[in-house]
Structure 1
Amino acid sequence: MGRALRDRLLMWVTAMKSAECPMPPIWWLVDKPVWENQWLLPQDKLVALHDLVKEQLDQGHLESSTSPWNTPVFCIKKKSGKWRLLQDLQKVNAMMESMGTLQAGMSSPAMLPTDWPVLIVDLKDCFLTIPLHPNDRPKFAFSVPVINKC
């Protein structure tokens, strides 16, 4: 990516970060809450999960909830030795109305000319920073098991 294009992109992202973006609500197929029990986790993953959740709470990416919705969470160890928090949202995703293609008219990245600069954003790297409409937040709730200190 050229320097001028990169600088323009960085300025735009910075400007958007400070602006208040409207958060449209998600369209749901049903109103019945989804509750899936938390999986059993080994001690090391449970400790890492507590640390990751505390970090995200401190950063304001997560908030406490008494939601009737629940999906399992777990964590995996990356090659670097750090842990990554993962949430199984398959059942929640199945309750959402489809939004269609993200870019109408372009069904495949293979349609891009080979010499075009491409920027790839992996949603797993920014999921916790994507704002949700306040009415939709409880639907993404999860519970963290207590660490057994016996």
Structure 2
Amino acid sequence: MKDFLAELKAGEIAEMVLLKPETSHEDLNSSSVMDEDVLEGFPKQRATRLGSEILKNPEDPVYPLVREYSDVVSKHPPSQLPPDRGVRHEIDLVPGAKYCVTRQWPLPREQCEVIDAFITERAKSGMVRESKFPHSTPTFCVRKPTGKWRLVHAYNKLNSATVPAETPIPRKDILLNNMSGCTLYSALDLVDGYYQILMRKSDIPLTAVSTPSGMLWEWLVMPQGLSNAPATFNRLTIAYVRSYFDDIFVHSRVEGGQTAMEVHLKYLRRVFEVMRANKLYANIDKCVFTAEEIKVLGCFVSRVGVLADPGKVKAIAAWPTP
């Protein structure tokens, strides 16, 4: 173990390979580690492929397509009650479950203002309405990496009384294996993914949440914080595209006499058509188009395979020797 750590720190280990029996039915790629200087240009390359940057360059091959589908990929997608797509979030309670009530706790003034503004906006769009049912869950905010606030609800009691869903969650290793080795990559970030799914009508009263201002609201769409919400969202997206929760990935290589770019634009058009038909929206500021490599679930994926994040490897290498 000491020799391994010493070689890892010295940079003498170039690759770590997952060994598996020959009888395994899954052909998984190995994960390699690249030096930070090799990956240094990756963030800059990704930044130039952001949707907002592409719209500044009419000569970009993706520009016409993004402009054509600006109704589904934009900075300001419509805030409205989503259509019924056949997938609704359901809350099945365990036998004997009673009312789920937790009192709202005090919050800083900044969070109170954010919550009131957020609920007011959602009420105008028809996503929430006043509630009179005997359920209540507190509301609070968590800070996003961007510095903005994310509104969530502490559904602890409700989640404890909910029958867990057994819907399979996408496997990270298989997703990375399917994406690696391609030439071009795009990633679409769905806007407010949870709020694009309706609640089952009989379960709407269970979603009742309190706010610091003393109001009680209930959600007509799937709110943040419910235990089975990830499984429900996966059921929705898996029916249309290859995704990992609220991220949709498009990848392509040369095929059928077409260039990788031609194939990629064809795939993007298909995805945009599905999104338009089902009224799904993506935030163009978070979308990446036709990049040669892309960061997926903490790893870098490109034509050379799956690469470990050098920042994470650096933390392992710096671990003190026992």
Q: TM-score, normalised by structure 1?
A: 0.68
Runs of 5+ unmatched residues, structure 1: 11-16
**What is the deviation of 1:82?**
3.5
**What is the deviation of 1:101?**
3.1
Q: Is the 8 A contact 2:84 2:198 kept in 1?
A: no
Give the alignment of 1:26-41 within 5 angstroms: 26-29=91-94, 30-41=96-107
Match of 2:161 among 83, 95, 107: 95
Q: For the residues of structure 1 that align with 2:190 and 2:159, how far apart are their CA atoms?
A: 15
| Matched residue, 1:125 | 192
Secondary structure of residue in 2 paired with 1:63: strand
Q: For the residues of structure 2 that align with 1:72 and 1:98, how far apart are their CA atoms?
A: 22
| Matched residue, 1:109 | 172
Q: Choose 124-133 or 36-45, whichever is displaced more.
A: 124-133
Q: Is the 8 A contact 1:38 1:72 kept in 2?
A: yes
Number of residue pairs matched? Answer: 131
Runs of 5+ unmatched residues, structure 2: 1-61, 63-68, 73-81, 215-322
2:115 aligned partner, one-letter code: L
Q: Choose 116-125 or 58-67, whichever is displaced more.
A: 116-125
Secondary structure of residue in 2 paired with 1:98: coil
- Post-superposition CA distance 1:22-67 (Å, at most 9, x none): 6374321144110001111111111111001101111111111112
**Highest relative contact order (Cα 8 Å, sep 6+), 1 or 2?**
1
Structure label with greater radius of gyration: 2
Give the alignment of 1:17-28 within 5 angstroms: 18=83, 20-21=85-86, 23=88, 25-28=90-93
Secondary structure of residue in 1 paired with 2:159: helix
| Matched residue, 2:51 | none
Give the alignment of 1:128-139 within 5 angstroms: 128-139=195-206
Q: Is the 8 A contact 2:88 2:197 kept in 1?
A: no
Q: Which consecutive segments of 4 or more residues in structure 1 shift more than 4 A? A: 17-20, 117-124
Change (3 A) 1:81 1:24: closer
Change (3 A) 1:130 1:22: closer
| Matched residue, 1:13 | none
**What is the deviation of 1:97?**
0.9
Match of 1:145 among 212, 222, 235: 212
| Matched residue, 2:119 | 53
- Post-superposition CA distance 1:51-106 (Å, at most 9, x none): 01101111111111112111111123445454321111222112111211335xx7
Q: Choose 116-125 or 44-53, whichever is displaced more.
A: 116-125
Q: Is the 8 A contact 2:87 2:197 kept in 1?
A: no
Q: TM-score, normalised by structure 2?
A: 0.35
Q: Is the 8 A contact 1:61 1:129 kept in 2?
A: no
